[in-house]
Amino acid sequence: MTRHTGSDDGDETSGTDESHGIDGTSDDEPRGRTDDEPRGSADGDRCGCGSADGTPQPNVPEIGRDERPAIFVPDEESEERGGPADAPRTATDGGVESATGGSDSTELDPDAYDPIDVFPEGDLDLRDGADSCYKCTSCDTSCPVAEVDDEFPGPKFQGPEQWRLKRKDDHDIDESITSCSNCMRCDDACPSSVPLSQMHNEARGQFVEEQMEKLSLEYVRNRILANYRTSARLASVVPRLSSFAMNFGPARWAMDKVLGIPKEREFPEFATTTFREWWRDRGGAQVENPDKRVAYFHGCYSNYNTPEVGKAMVRVYEHFGYEVLVPPQKCSGTPMFANGMLKDARRHAETNVENLIEAIGDGADVIASCTSCSMSLRQEYPELFDIHGIEDVSNHTFEALEYLRIHEDLDGALAESDGPGDEQSFAYHAPCHARNQGLARQAVETFRDVDGVEMEDVGDSCSGISGTYGWKSEKYEKSMQIGEEMFDHMEEAEGKVGMTECPTCAMQMEHGTGYEIEHPLQLLEETVVA
Amino acid sequence: MAIDSEVLVVGGGMAGITAAIAAAREGADTRLVSHKASTLRQASGLIDALGYLPATEPAKPLREGPPTAGRNLDPDEWPDPEGPLTDPFEAIDRLPEDHPYRLVGADALREGLELFDDLVGDAYLGGHTDRNALVPTFGGSVKPTARYPASAAAGLASDDRPTLIVGFRSLTEYDARAFADRLAAADVPFDVAGAEVEFAEAFRADAKITRLAKALDRDEPIDGTPAREALAKAVGPHLHDVVDEEGGVDRVERVGFPAFLGDDHPAEVRADLGDRLGADVFEIPMGPPSLPGLRLEDLLYDALDDAGVRFETGTPAVGYAVTDAGDRIDHLVMDRKGSEVPYGAEAVVLATGGLVGKGLDSDRDGVREPVLDLHVPQPADRYEWFVDDAFGEQPYARFGVRPDERLRPLDETGEVAYGNIRVAGAVVGGADVAREKSASGVSLATGLVAGREAAREVQQ
């Protein structure tokens, strides 16, 4: 068989161990091309990204991280993010050296001349993203916030347009960036592969870093929300008391008034035994298998709030003969990105990358049960941070059900099973972050032919909570407006149990309908393992 | 283990959806993958089959030498396209021989349209006749089209009832008065006036069109008045704006709005407005952001689901492997956020779009098909790819993969490149869909044939 992929070692996960892009050392052959004709060599040093051999990869869609280096370098403080300190920042217009050095035209070599090279680009330049935007407004049309919020100018403004505006030093980031919920639907909508969420993250990080009053209650509130892990870790010391205290009426009233955390929402309960405690108590992995190893990234929520999801993951994977590793880990960073707390996110990322890369070295792939965790590790990490090994982590990370669908005969196992104990109907909502990973339909497809299971997709709308967005008093109403479509469809659906992969979507689903919400892994455990 | 299916369709637009449903209806286990959310949301929502026949030969022969570059060829030396055509089917024989319609035949177009009618039900009209309908579009021109959304039905240009076109100052892409003037200049058989009304002003100056649609869907109060009532009140004073040739004033019988009358409940919004205005209400299809396109996307993806097709977005095809014999594709490789995952299939339909949809890629060295590296015929000298007249007969518009009549792609020697591949939609060369007004029809006809062929490939 002739392989026409980036690597040719015949392994079906081949190519995943290559570093794509960030350091420009990708040595991919152009895909699907066996001849050796040179193509577009003039593009070789364009923006210092893409492949180093200068071969454009026409068939590789321009996923943000393949094209651009990471944008967030924490220790530069307010120094230019735009490149090495000694490289003067290039203005968008004016002051730019001519590509040809302004020499007279007789010296022009038409073959070497390429208009793309006119503007030399700094290391951290998102110009490609801004230039790729042809203003079709697909992002705006897909934005759930713009649909309900008169004050929000939409992703096209927050991304490419704002990027252009702030090329000039005297422009602040517009504070409307804090109304972006980081659902990332715009990424999926853009037909031109503009790295919208990356641009939003950059702008939001800059806004919080440089313009937001660090003593303001909003900052404090956002910092608390973004660092959910910290609160959850403390709360889990005395879980019952925490669950009570956090939902204690007068306390909630005060939180609403002082911090802006909506009193309408119920705080999730803290588990009396965290996932990691359970894991320790059971003596860790029950299956050893050097050939089939996965490292479980449980994230904060499965650990502190819904350990049953983590347990289901372990039991299902052990059922399929996998050795499960549970490396030390911190927050994936998702709530921090959404609140512009990039320094916090980076600190956590360093721990995560260090431990996950070690597991990968032991032959494991990284498995997340939360689609926002997997999204963060896969996309935001390499887009935002330049940490050794971060590309490997990205390329080895999968969502739990996704991985089994790729590597195991899940349909076969489900067909052989007797189904769950009794008939069950679910109203399934695909989280926005699952959608961007191509996972929006996997739960429905996996379970819809299983005897005794009804699985209904409640549509492609956003649940409206988007992590911490719906946890802010000033956004609560809008969050519920966005969610209305999903609530309606859930009510219409046959099933009276909700299902989703995302913990905060689950909160919103429960909040809007009163349904109990399950994770697909729990159903998988019930059907395949039981 | 790869993710396996019998038929794998690459591309989430009209052609891909049609192919996937056609294959699934033949009994094949079908999966559709798409790099991004469907670009149907950018489409006008009109389903055109063939509106014009552009000339492919200049009125007088070109001079010797490179045909176009720097020649300042007078655009007037090209004859105007023939049209608008009354009957798209009748004109197919006059298309160039290598046009996709000529390859798959007029029956394929007819069946493709029938399939479409079946999928969308009463959300679309026009299926009662072979003839084109004339639908005003937001540029003020009238477009010949085979099917149109129910929301546009009351706006047909062949209707002679007096018409009011409503616009909003904040919707800058749409000027109602200029629109009405252009319709009048086009000699439409009805009296028409345009009016700019206050309504969208209650929202932010650059409010997204989806914001307006949602407000109407929910009948949200705007400054205390429910949105639909507020809109009707704003339009009310203009119902007698139309002046006929004799200077008499007619009460309008239909009112056209930019296409933003609701996202989830458009029929309800139209009916409500119609009752309040005492006139039929219609939408004028617009460019992106396009609510009719979004609604069509919803309809067709529901149809995919009903047909049992598996589908996913967010997974671009980045590589492929051929079988040992080299004449068939064994599997495609999809990118899942950095990890490459093989997708096995017995037959593959490539419906990735054309130069705009990125199913064809180009730079200064060439034009190529990026997923399977299929052969795309093109002049070696890039100055022969285009002509100076921007609206002229542009050779690049017809670039694309050239298939046989079973839509198997051909290599540079004219042989079938891979026996289990079919191509559909804009990736297929030979049509200048923008000038012909044939984009949807080409997608439906080739999608239908490609899907059926792929299913047959599996059954063999």
Concatenate the DSSP letters of all residues of B100-148 into one string: HHHHH-HHHHHHHHHHHHHHHGGGEE-TT-SSPEEEE-TTS-EEEESBE
Q: How close does chain A come to B61, measured CA to CA in Å?
A: 32
Concatenate the DSSP letters of all residues of B231-270 into one string: HHHHHGGGTT-EE-TTS-EE--SEEEEES-S-SS-HHHHH
Asked whether residue A75 carries a pLDDT value surpassing 70, the answer given is: no
Report the range of poorest mean pLDDT among A266-270, A282-286, B315-319.
A266-270
- Quickly state the pLDDT bin for A418 (edges 50, 70, 90): confident
pLDDT digits (tens, 9 = 90+) for A20-72: 333 433 444 444 444 444 333 333 333 333 344 444 444 333 333 333 445 55
Cα B308 to Cα A183, A310, A410: the distances in Å are: 28, 31, 18
CA A473 to chain CA centroid, Å, is 24
Note whether B314 contacts A190, CB cutoff 8 Å.
Answer: no
In whole angstroms, give the CA distance from residue B68 to residue B79: 17
pLDDT digits (tens, 9 = 90+) for B392-442: 888 999 999 999 999 999 999 999 999 999 999 999 999 999 999 999 999
Neighbouring CB atoms inside 10 A of B221's CB total 12
Whole-number pLDDT of residue B62: 59
Whole-number pLDDT of residue A72: 58
At A321, phi and psi to the nearest 5?
85, 20
| Tokens coding A359 | 């597991």
In whole angstroms, give the CA distance from residue B241 to residue B164: 8
Write down the domain spans for chain A: 55-82+119-212, 275-407, 417-529
In whole angstroms, give the CA distance from residue B78 to residue B98: 21
DSSP state of B79: P
Asked whether residue B151 carries a pLDDT value surpassing 90, the answer given is: yes
- B residues 275-334 near A, CB within 8 Å? 288-290, 294, 301, 305, 310-324, 326, 330, 333-334
Mutate to test the interface with A, among B264, B313, B329, B350 (most CBs of A within 10 A): B313
Bridge-partner residues for A498, per DSSP?
A: A427, A517
Residues of chain B with pLDDT > 70, as a percent, come to: 95
State how beta strands A497-499 and A516-518 pair. Answer: parallel
More confident residue, A45 or A481: A481
A161 contacts: CB under 8 Å, gap ≥ 6: none
> CA torsion A229→A231→A234→A238, rounded to 10°?
-110
Asked whether residue B115 carries a pLDDT value surpassing 50, the answer given is: yes
Residue with tokens 């079906």: A12
pLDDT digits (tens, 9 = 90+) for B333-356: 999 888 889 999 999 999 999 998
Q: At what angle do helices B14-25 and B106-120 cross, to 10 degrees?
A: 90
Contact criterion met (CB below 8 Å) for A158 and A197 = no
Cα B406 to Cα B105, B147, B359, B450: the distances in Å are: 11, 26, 20, 7
Domains assigned to chain B: 3-118+295-459 (3.50.50.60), 138-284 (no CATH)
Residues of chain A with pLDDT > 90, as a percent, come to: 56
pLDDT digits (tens, 9 = 90+) for A174-210: 999 999 999 999 999 998 889 999 999 989 998 998 8
In whole angstroms, give the CA distance from residue A179 to residue A432: 17
- Quickly state the pLDDT bin for B232 (edges 50, 70, 90): very high
| Tokens coding A378 | 């896969």
By CB atoms closer than 10 A (0-12, 13-18, 19+), residue A258 is exposed
Whole-number pLDDT of residue B57: 77
In whole angstroms, give the CA distance from residue B398 to residue B102: 14
| Tokens coding B199 | 């309504």
Q: Which of B18, B13, B1, B17 is nearest to B448 (CA)?
A: B18
In whole angstroms, give the CA distance from residue B270 to residue B261: 7
Residue with tokens 């239908």: B448
A398 chain-B contacts, CB cut-off 8 A: 336, 339
Asked whether residue A335 carries a pLDDT value surpassing 90, the answer given is: yes
More confident residue, A375 or A121: A375
A58 chain-B contacts, CB cut-off 8 A: 361, 363, 368, 370
Q: How close does chain A come to B50, measured CA to CA in Å?
A: 25
Select from B206, B324, B330 the Cβ nearest to the Cβ of A153: B206
- A474 membership: H or E segment, kind and range: helix A473-492
Q: Nearest residue of A to residue B316 by CA position?
A: A61
Q: Determine the average pLDDT of the residues in A374-397.
A: 94
Note whether B314 contacts A142, CB cutoff 8 Å.
Answer: no
| Tokens coding B149 | 């959304």
Note whether B338 contacts A382, CB cutoff 8 Å.
Answer: yes
| Tokens coding A58 | 């026409």
In whole angstroms, give the CA distance from residue A309 to residue A518: 8
Looking at this predicted complex, what is its ipTM?
0.87
Q: Determine the average pLDDT of the residues in B354-369.
A: 93
Note whether A438 contacts B334, CB cutoff 8 Å.
Answer: yes
Q: Which of B262, B203, B197, B204 is nearest to B231 (CA)?
A: B197
Q: Which of B143, B145, B138, B188 is nearest to B165 (CA)?
A: B138
Q: Which of A143, A144, A219, A208 is nearest to A173 (CA)?
A: A208
Note whether A4 contacts B319, CB cutoff 8 Å.
Answer: yes
Mutate to test the interface with B, among A19, A147, A377 (most CBs of B within 10 A): A147
Alpha helix (H) ranges present in B128-220?
A: 176-185, 209-218
Report the range of poorest mean pLDDT among A77-81, A220-224, A235-239, B35-39.
A77-81
Cα B143 to Cα B52, B69, B157, B286, B437: the distances in Å are: 10, 32, 9, 12, 8
Note whether A438 contacts B288, CB cutoff 8 Å.
Answer: no
In whole angstroms, give the CA distance from residue B33 to residue B14: 13
Asked whether residue A114 carries a pLDDT value surpassing 50, the answer given is: no
A190 contacts: CB under 8 Å, gap ≥ 6: A133, A138, A139, A196, B36
- B residues 200-219 near A, CB within 8 Å? 203-204, 206-211, 214
More confident residue, B208 or B217: B217
pLDDT digits (tens, 9 = 90+) for A503-528: 999 999 999 999 999 999 999 999 99
- CA angle, B210 then B215 then B218, to 5°: 120
In whole angstroms, give the CA distance from residue A112 to residue A268: 61
Contact criterion met (CB below 8 Å) for B456 and B31 = no
A405 chain-B contacts, CB cut-off 8 A: 3
By CB atoms closer than 10 A (0-12, 13-18, 19+), residue A439 is buried
Alpha helix (H) ranges present in A236-341?
A: 239-246, 249-254, 275-281, 299-304, 307-319, 334-338
Note whether A395 contacts B336, CB cutoff 8 Å.
Answer: no
Residue with tokens 């910290």: A230
What predicted TM-score, i.e. pTM, was given to this entire model? Answer: 0.85
- A453 membership: H or E segment, kind and range: strand A453-457
Cα-Cα-Cα-Cα dihedral sign, residues A234, A235, A240, A244: positive
| Tokens coding A205 | 């990080």
Q: If one looks up domain A55-82+119-212 in CATH, what number appears? A: 1.10.1060.10
- A499 membership: H or E segment, kind and range: strand A497-499
A13 chain-B contacts, CB cut-off 8 A: 339-341
Q: Which of A396, A424, A377, A444 is nearest to A530 (CA)?
A: A424
Mutate to test the interface with B, among A9, A59, A402, A437 (most CBs of B within 10 A): A59
B292 chain-A contacts, CB cut-off 8 A: none
In whole angstroms, give the CA distance from residue A205 to residue B301: 37
Contacts across the A-B interface (CB distance below 8 Å):
196
In whole angstroms, give the CA distance from residue B95 to residue B431: 9
Amino acid letter, B283: E
Note whether A143 contacts B210, CB cutoff 8 Å.
Answer: yes
Select from B36, B312, B365 the Cβ nearest to the Cβ of A189: B36
In whole angstroms, give the CA distance from residue B225 to residue B219: 9
Asked whether residue B207 carries a pLDDT value surpassing 90, the answer given is: no
A148 chain-B contacts, CB cut-off 8 A: 211, 214
Whole-number pLDDT of residue B284: 93
Report the range of poorest mean pLDDT among A141-145, A246-250, A447-451.
A246-250
In whole angstroms, give the CA distance from residue B300 to residue A68: 35
Amino acid letter, A471: W
At the topology level, CATH places domain A417-529 in Rossmann fold (3.40.50)
A30-34, A320-324, A446-450 — most confident range: A320-324
Neighbouring CB atoms inside 10 A of B102's CB total 17
Asked whether residue B29 carries a pLDDT value surpassing 50, the answer given is: yes
Residue with tokens 């608008």: B84
In whole angstroms, give the CA distance from residue A328 to residue A284: 13
In whole angstroms, give the CA distance from residue A289 to residue A363: 10
What is the C-alpha R_g of chain B? 24
Q: What end-to-end distance do the CA atoms of chain A give, in Å? A: 40
Cα B1 to Cα A409, B124, B458: the distances in Å are: 8, 42, 20
In whole angstroms, give the CA distance from residue B46 to residue A370: 40
Residues of chain B with pLDDT > 90, as a percent, come to: 72
